[in-house]
Amino acid sequence: MKKWLVAGLLFCLQWAAGAQEPKSIAGIPADVYYLMPSFGNGYIYFRGQMPAQGQLNICAVDNTIHYMDKGEELVSAPTENIIKVRIDTVSFLHSQGVFYRLYPVTAEKGVALRRKVNLKTDEKEGAFGTTSRTSATKEYGVLYADGVSYNLNSNKTYPYEVSENLYLYHGDKILALNKKNLKKLFPEVQFETLPKTLEDALALLR
């Protein structure tokens, strides 16, 4: 993972140094907290640079990339030159700081799914405005989301809500799932209403 650090992902912290596949994190099931059910062999693709390889996963709360290094879990804020991440056989497109899971219909276009996990609490244990991003990410077991810090190493659990939204993608661009874009990308497809679920979208387009 040294290549990854050289590539510009310099904001790393260590947490969860125990089991590599925790059942939950601060009360959030691991398969909800991460975009993949487990860490897998993956590649990070950059603009103008060689890809980096490692045991990877992606956090659905703050869209940070997590990776295993000698049995320890490290997390790094992604930089804008990341185009895509592939874990096992699953690809995620990186756009405006968010990772979208891709469901290809053709080689260049298909359906993209964004999962968002919001932690719901009124307690503010810290905020971006009170400490720099660089120093903040050195704190052990702390997650920053929406300007609030959450101590993941305590026994405290946080209420949360999960939402998943459908999009279209073409190449490395994420597009809204609306009638205009659907007709533009898939002119041969006949439809009366927009699909509301991933299953409906894939059944319509494949």
More confident residue, 181 or 156: 181
Provide the pLDDT for residue 4. Answer: 43
Mean per-residue pLDDT of the chain:
81
Strand segments, DSSP code E, in the chain are 12-15, 24-25, 28-29, 40-46, 52-58, 65-69, 72-76, 82-87, 90-95, 98-104, 109-119, 142-145, 148-151, 160-170, 173-176
Reply yes or no on whether the pLDDT at 124 is more than 80: no
pLDDT of 122 reads 59
Span 104-117, average pLDDT: 97
Pick from 3-12, 74-83, 159-168, 193-202: least confident: 3-12
- What pLDDT is recorded for position 195? 97
**Both tokens assigned to 160:** 């949360």
The sign of the torsion formed by the CA atoms of 114, 120, 125, 130 equals: positive
- Determine contact, residues 92/36, Cβ cutoff 8 Å: no
Q: What are the pLDDT digits (tens) for 126-168?
A: 433 333 333 223 332 667 777 677 777 778 888 999 999 999 9
pLDDT at 182 over 90: yes
The pTM of the whole model exceeds 0.85: no
How confident is the model at residue 72, as a pLDDT? 87
46 CB neighbour count, 10 Å cutoff:
20
Residue with tokens 């991933």: 198
21 pLDDT band, cuts 50/70/90, is: low
| pLDDT grade for 3, boundaries at 50, 70 and 90 | very low
SS3 of the chain: helix, strand, coil, percent, to 5: 15, 40, 45
d(CA 75, CA 77): 7
Q: Report yes or no: 60 and 115 within 8 Å, Cβ to Cβ.
A: yes
Rounded CA separation 79/97 (Å): 8
> How large is the average pLDDT for residues 12-33?
65
Looking at residue 158, its amino acid is Y
Give phi and psi for 2, each to the nearest 5.
-60, -35
Longest dimension (CA), the chain: 54
Alpha helices, H only, the chain: 2-6, 30-33, 133-136, 179-185, 198-205
Residue 51 has pLDDT above 90, yes or no: yes
**Helix (H/G/I), strand (E/B), else coil: 106:** coil
Higher pLDDT, 50 or 77: 50
Q: Answer yes or no: are the C-beta atoms of 18 and 45 closer than 8 Å.
A: no
